Structure 1
């Protein structure tokens, strides 16, 4: 079974699906490699005008696969491939629309900061549990989340690491709209179709201009966070948190 599925679902629209439903689409190294390949292929395909990102089995993604991450830390591999994915999604030139059902945890939430549009089901659950796991923010979230949510809300979400609902996600600027359970993909596809029908050069230019002011800061923040994240992966706090999680 492929960890990531890629299929044309409408004229000019490719749907990229995180596909580990038995693990709530937890992302391991193979999943990241699949996401990188799928987004890179969509970027290179002139017939693709918009990317629709979602998860299989009623969940977006429960975040990093802790067992896989613990193994990566033990072998010294760290989080490099996850950072590679974040660099790819944050610099994509084509519009990306996310459709969220179920869980959007950790990178499942931070990747939304790099999507152009996002829609969530009313039943979804978001969480940024980096501190809880002895880690630190990633994906440029320590820069982008205060920018869209405000410093106090960003501190609440990133420091406390508590679960929050779709309405809070909308208020924090993580999603455009909250829709009924089971309809997030439908809402996302409708917007992706609209984007795909627009003049592509004008659309790409508009996306570039929207991101231009923060692009350098985002890239620098992703790199800085990545260095600290790699160090934290090997820390006693993170190891203890991982072991406690794996014993559940």
Structure 2
């Protein structure tokens, strides 16, 4: 625990580009019990991402948040404090989508199998996934949450959230070379200056209590819209993968 707090002190210094919820507000503590904070060791050092709990033994995040080892913290509000609600798990297996493209960020989705199942509580709960191939309409109002910068120069330790509006796909096609509406969602009104950004990667886009998107990438200046992975395009892969990699240490009760 002390090591994790020590690492977070360096991962989130004031003014660092660790992540941004721009134009939002602090979330009510533990009002988003599916939120996960990831501490990732990469070849160049430690990084952080968001994620969300989809089963007691699986967290969903972005494929570009890959590394080893990965520590998952659930039930957190202030990620620099040792809160009694927090549960920490090591990642047994990081499973990137087999068609993930690191250059284009297409199919930017990854499942993390936890070494041990979490215990669901008021502060730690799963979130629903959408129906396969379901699509959001432009104008839909959703929320995204994450830890990190609350402006281009100010950091925070507490979970922040912001409301964002789904945009027409053409807005992202015009700005991003590899945008595809088959597997991605265009989110955030350019006139609002509200957005998720770099270190919020992997966090969920929640619409009507369903995790419809995953923070993927956006403009380096934090100007919306940003691109989210469309979860409904991958529901079948998610379910197949979770079934394939069942928890090895789970116990079975004879009928």
TM range (shorter): under 0.3
Question: Which of structures 1 and 2 has the larger relative contact order (alpha carbons within 8 angstroms, sep 6+)?
Answer: 2
TM-score under structure 1 normalisation? 0.26
- Report the structure, 1 or 2, having the larger helix content: 1
- Report the structure, 1 or 2, having the larger strand content: 2
